[in-house]
Amino acid sequence: MATLSINNVRKQYGSVEVLKGIDLDLTDGEFLVLLGPSGCGKSTLLNMIAGLETISAGEIRIDQRVVNEVHPKDRDIAMVFQSYALYPNMTVARNIGFSLEMRGQAKPEREGAVRRVARLLQIEHLLDRKPAQLSGGQRQRVAMGRALVRDPKVFLFDEPLSNLDAKLRVDMRTEIKKLHQRLGTTVVYVTHDQIEAMTLASRIAIMKEGVVQQFAPPQEVYERPANMYVASFIGSPTMNFVRGTLSAEGDRLGVSVGRERSGFLPLFQPPEQAGHWLGQEVILGIRPEAITCYDPAIAAGNPALVKVACGVNVLEPTGADTITYVELNGHEVVARIKPSDRVAEGETADFMIDMARANLFDPKTEQRI
């Protein structure tokens, strides 16, 4: 178990800067997920923590020790690769024990350690097989076993689940989480899957073009995204972005959407800087589940709920919810409503927007206001 701190880390390939000053600090036992699209630099950062890539500038510390110049094998880390990278010529047992073999550990001790890890991962019956004789899920377990056997300070996962089919991916995700709860080791986990990030992380670092956009716990990233990029990357269906003008009606600040008077959506507890934006264009961000069918009983008890009348364009039932495309003063927005509340396509109905969960963004910088 260990802390991990990444201070102003940069990576350059020639004149191309891939990582532009990354700052992340992990406390002991944290589960950090590096989330971003391919090419955002998240794997490069992971490789730099592992010591497989040199660090152009800045420093990385594991347990207060600067490891910039430390060889990967001496950093006390273990890594699980997307391709699993099992040695095809060795049995499962030797694959798992290879790092101990390389460290000159005696055979009896080694076998004991391999057996202990195999029991933990329920792969004891596979120890004599070669990787080619294993299924995808079994290979995945062996790859984890190889990382676990040395009891390292930090685990590094490089998209470990992306080669598995959908069902197995969900199972292994849960298992990784259980394993982390049990062992409490610090983890850095790279993925482009927002669900993996949300479910596993204690904190998520969302990256784009070599810059960390937001570094926060999953719920905060979801509810208070730092910018429109983060807001649209997390959540499905994605957050609705509606252009409007910040205006005042009486003593209440709100966003006017469209020309009609009914387009005024009063903000609930507006951000402090909102006053500076009066009369200017802003972007209102609303999660689909913040738009629901109007229910007078609920609306009466919650002042943040604003009633609006919307035309319904399209319904997409998903079983648990019905994704509904509605017309909000000339803007099409997506609402997530209960199947029992469904309104027929083409009709107009009353909806309510939970303005306590609304976000405001600057249309030019796309940053949160």
Give the interface with other proteins as residue ranges (CB under 8 A).
47, 50-52, 72-73, 77-79, 81-89, 98-99, 102-103, 130-132, 136, 139, 146, 163
Tell the smallest beta-carbon distance from residue 109 to other proteins (Å). Answer: 16
| Integer angstrom CA distances of residue 91 from 86, 130, 293 | 9, 5, 59
Tell the smallest beta-carbon distance from residue 47 to other proteins (Å). Answer: 8
Tell the smallest beta-carbon distance from residue 43 to other proteins (Å). Answer: 11
DSSP 263: G
Tell the smallest beta-carbon distance from residue 364 to other proteins (Å). Answer: 42
Q: Which is nearer to other proteins, 87 or 345 (CB)?
A: 87
CA atoms of 78 and 151, how far apart (whole Å): 8
Q: Which is nearer to other proteins, 168 or 183 (CB)?
A: 168
Q: Which is nearer to other proteins, 85 or 198 (CB)?
A: 85
Tell the smallest beta-carbon distance from residue 245 to other proteins (Å). Answer: 52
Q: Which is nearer to other proteins, 99 or 247 (CB)?
A: 99
Tell the smallest beta-carbon distance from residue 163 to other proteins (Å). Answer: 4
Q: Which is nearer to other proteins, 14 or 319 (CB)?
A: 14
CA atoms of 235 and 250, how far apart (whole Å): 34
Q: Which pair of structure tokens corresponds to residue 330?
A: 């000339």
CA atoms of 172 and 168, how far apart (whole Å): 6
Q: Which pair of structure tokens corresponds to residue 25?
A: 């600090």
Q: Which pair of structure tokens corresponds to residue 146?
A: 């190889």
Q: Which is nearer to other proteins, 127 or 360 (CB)?
A: 127
- Name, in order, each residue with C-beta under 8 angstroms of 41's C-beta and a sequence gap of 6 or more: 11, 18, 19, 207, 209, 210
Phi-psi region of 279 (alpha: psi -120 to 50; beta: other; left: phi over 0): left
Phi-psi region of 51 (alpha: psi -120 to 50; beta: other; left: phi over 0): left
Q: Find the helix or strand (DSSP H, E) in which 266 lies.
A: strand 264-266
Tell the smallest beta-carbon distance from residue 170 to other proteins (Å). Answer: 18
Q: Which is nearer to other proteins, 89 or 122 (CB)?
A: 89
